[in-house]
Amino acid sequence: MSVLKSKYLSEDDLRDYGFRSLGKNVRISSDVRIYGERNISIGDDVRIDDFAILSAANGFIEIGSHVFIARGCHLSGTMGIRIHNFVTLAGNVTIYSASDDYSGDSLTGQAIPPQYTQLKGGCVELHKHVILGTGTTIIGPAQLAEGSGTGAMTLVTRDLEPWSLYAGIPARKIKEKSRKALDHEVNFLNDLHA
């Protein structure tokens, strides 16, 4: 009995897909689902693994370079998602830039025409060296400053401070992070361009 195996799409497949822009050395699993590719930009050296969903039929998703998006992540870019360089999303991270208005002032759900619904939220921006632990959920608007990170199962509904680690529901700052990654970034880029 053979097991079904996913594969990374070829450069030709990716080039023909219709992204707004696409960098070099991009690896996207054949089991990723992408909606609104014309509103999605992807930088260099990006890897997106199985069962991730990128949804930007409305809005946009911008992914920088040296970004890893693990299996099962869901990015909903209705009000915009910006992911800067050197960002890592562990498995099952969910980012909503918009969500339904739960106040009862409108109908909810994507099966309802938009004139009867209201969305709340705003752009979610993950600055350089952000790392999100498995199962993290972000509901925009939110600015995750450079070097910020979350532990597993964290709920983010506000801005996070630079070089700080957060955990919990809702996210609470638990400690400062080292900035040595900045030195490693310089060395890595020097080696890459040598």
Q: What is the pLDDT of residues 112-144, one digit of tens each?
A: 998 999 999 999 999 999 999 999 999 999 999
Domain ranges of the chain: 11-192
**Range 146-174 average pLDDT:** 98
CA–CA separation, 128 vs 145, rounded Å? 8
For residue 30, give the nearest of 16, 50, 55 by alpha carbon: 50
Say whether domain 11-192 belongs to CATH 3.30.390.30. no
CA atoms in the 13 A half-sphere facing the CB of 190: 6
Q: State the DSSP H helix or E strand holding residue 181, giving kind and residue range, or none if neither.
A: helix 180-192
Instruction: Give the model's pLDDT for residue 194.
Output: 85
